[in-house]
Amino acid sequence: MYLPRIFTAMVTPFNENGELDYDEAGRLAEWLTTHGSEGLILSGTTGESPALTDSERMALLRAVRARLSRNVPLWIGTGTNNTVHSRDLSWQAADNGADGVLLVCPYYNKPPQEGLIRHFTEIAKGLPIPAMLYNIPSRTGVNLLPASVVTITEECENIVAIKEAGGSLPQLQELVNLVSSRTRVYSGDDAMYFNALTLGAYGVVSVASHLVGNELAMMTQMVLQNDLDQARRIHMTLTPLFQELFRYTNPISVKWALNYLRIPVGDVRLPLVTPHHEHAFEPLVELIDRLVSAGLYSEAG
């Protein structure tokens, strides 16, 4: 099974009426895969999964799958805070052409580690496609510990990866050290990706790859070739962008940036809102214009 190094957690395009724009989703998916993204994950945090209906998720999956080569891994977020619902969504995803599913930790419930283990194993058992765990305590209120990841992946061989977005390099290092070689550890934080790679992470599930996918792919190759000086230079060049994309709750800034670059992905859905004060995105505009001028980014419009 092929697992890409650079997964993009794709935004969900909406039209002027706030409806899901399936045609634009297909166009964006095609564009991303020619600009550094080796695989895509739909309906994750960046895809505004809490604001999508189940039918929208599956229609989005079908629309994007129809536009992409079968060689491009297309995964989708199916994790919720309801175990039965998550399992049902995961099976629907398999039936609708997904290559894998992303399973976020249950939010709001705040289960103990045993509850997390049972939640994920119940979803994954018998599932005909692979799964990636997703640990993001800032969103869910619960931290999936490395020892629990080991237990889950030993029990369910089709859980093949984890997106670690806990914000802790020591925890990521512990994960890399503890999990088996068949379990890929992905950084869930663009700003930590360079350091995560040097600690043994396999790849990244990225937001910034909407804008600088080629550069992230190049940085990855530099680390794999042990050219850490060049990789570090790329990381330092991109760090201000990484930081600015998370000035506001993701995906507010990245959707605004794509629209600024004439890639019409529309606004975010409530309860998220885009700031409209005069200077809200001035720093982001300066960074994007600098990247365009430096030839690091090719506009799509």
Q: DSSP 3-state helix, strand, coil percentages of the chain (rounded to 5)?
A: 45, 15, 40
User: 209: closest CA among 34, 14, 84, 2?
Assistant: 34
The residue with tokens 């992946």 is 153
Pick the catalytic residue from 22, 108, 134, 202.
Answer: 134
Pick the catalytic residue from 163, 193, 248, 297.
Answer: 163
* Single-letter residue type at 72: V
Is residue 163 part of the annotated active site? The answer reads yes
Distance (Å, rounded) from C-alpha 142 to C-alpha 123?
18
End-to-end CA distance of the chain: 35
Helix (H, G, I), strand (E, B) or coil at 95: helix
* Single-letter residue type at 242: F
Is residue 107 part of the annotated active site? The answer reads no
Which residues are marked as active site? Answer: 134, 163
